[in-house]
Amino acid sequence: MVYDPSSGKSVGIQVKTTRQKSKDSNKDGYWVVNVRPEDLDKKSDSFQVPFVFVYVPEGEEPNPRFFIVPARKVLDLCKDDWSNYKSKSKDKTAQKLIPLGPKVAQLLPYEDKWENLRTL
């Protein structure tokens, strides 16, 4: 839950955090949902509040980066993740649970977009 003192409103949020794992930070990503791909649309109820993705780069004094993404867009990014996985995977049936979520590169348009919380 976050509070905006200028409007006097509060809103629930989901927060996901990851540390830098690869030299190219755009390849790092987040795990949002673990689901059988055919059930992804049934999980849409899980995407009711905005997400704040926190990215912690390497370094002694890392400056975290924040990406503020509307809930429905996160679901779309998970669907994109599934499409990418399916196109590269040898397992075309994918009957198992698959962790889905956006890569940092996909979140760049949402960096420091705190106003996305005010539009609710």
For 109, counting Cβ atoms within 10 Å of its Cβ (0-12 exposed, 13-18 middle, 19+ buried), the class is exposed
d(Cα 47, Cα 26) in Å, to the nearest integer?
23
The confidence score (pLDDT) of residue 6 equals 81
- For residue 89, the SS3 value is coil
For the record, the structure tokens of 17 come out as 């955090």
Q: What is the pLDDT of residue 69?
A: 94
Number of domains forming the structure of the chain: 1
Q: In terms of residue numbers, what domain contains 59?
A: 2-118
CB contact at 8 A, 13 and 49: yes
Alpha-carbon gap, residue 120 to 52, rounded angstroms: 14
The one-digit pLDDT tens for each residue of the chain (120 residues) are 888 888 888 889 999 999 888 887 777 888 887 777 677 777 777 778 899 999 998 887 779 999 999 988 888 888 887 777 777 767 655 556 667 788 899 999 999 999 888 765
